[in-house]
Structures are given as C-alpha cells and as structure tokens.
Amino acid sequence: MAKVIYPGTFDPVTNGHIDIVSRAVALFDEVIVTVARNPGKTSLFTVEERVEMLKESLKDYKRVVVDSFDGLVVNHAKQVGAVGIIRGLRAISDFEYEFQMALMNRKLAGEITTILLMPHARYTYLNSTIVRNLAQFQGDVSEFVPKIVVEKLKIKFGKNKE
C-alpha cells in the first residue's frame, strides 16, 4: 500500500490545500495530512484547532488521515511508513524553496521521495497568510476556505455576530 504524507502548517487550511489532497488521493492509497508544530512560526490557530479544521474539511475523503508531528518531516514520514512527501507548488517562487527542501530530505532519507503537485490554476495565488489577512480586515474568505475555517476565523477576529 503506497502511503504518503502531506505536511504543512495549515494555518488555516485553504481550498488550495484541499485541492492538493484530492490530487494526492487519486495517486496514492493513503494520504496522511500532518500539521507541523513549527516553533519558528507564530500561528493564529493552535495545532489542535488546525487538526480539527482539517478533519472536518477532509471528512469525505476515506483514505485520508489527519495528524500532527514535531521534528523533521522525513523522520515523521519514516515513522508512519510513508514512501513520499507531498508538497504543493503554486508558482515559480515556490520552486526554489521546495527544491532545496527536497534535496535535503533526499540526503537525510533517500528512500523517501518528494512529490510536487500543482493545484488548480484558481488556487495558485492563494495561501494561508492571504486568507488570515483578508479575514482580519473583515474580507469575505468563503470562496477560499472550507466553511469551518470561515467560522473559526470569525471567532478569532471577533466577527461572529452575523
């Protein structure tokens, strides 16, 4: 059974992330979407909140598991028996970073393959930072994120009085 992980901070999960998951599910037997605990980043949502939003957003995908991890992605991939690491590639600007990470991961664990997947064109400009900024200033994010994320963003930014 071919199992892969799709790691990220998912702060919050976007429809672009969901699109990558749907592409990965079409290629692999099991996709483990895993929330990275990144001490170098200040997150809007806790790891537990991000896991909850992912579980709700991905509940219709039967071969998807949601979890979280600390440490190196390749170590987590080995721990769960994954053959690869899924990464989303939105634009050329993502390529250099993803290429460097893929080469380092190959050096650390040559048996783990990095698989770069491109989302649908309508998501190429979309990322979690843009969504957070838009929501913070009362912008409508409903076409960019799952319904649970819209609700959680309203709560975070004190806008749940509709």
**Does residue 120 have an active-site annotation?**
no
Q: Which of 41, 62, 107, 161 is catalytic?
A: 41
Active site residue 63: no
Active-site hit among 23, 50, 128, 152: 128
State the DSSP code for 113: E
User: Is 50 one of the annotated active-site residues of the chain?
Assistant: no
The two three-digit tokens of residue 150, written as one number: 């819209």
Helix or strand run (H / E) with residue 34: strand 30-36
The whole-angstrom separation of Cα 123 and Cα 19 is 8
Catalytic residue among 23, 87, 90, 152, which? 90
Active-site pick, 17, 23, 87, 132: 17
Q: Annotated catalytic, 90?
A: yes
Q: Where are the alpha helices (DSSP H) in the chain?
A: 15-27, 47-57, 73-80, 92-108, 128-136, 147-156
Which residues belong to the active site? 17, 41, 90, 128
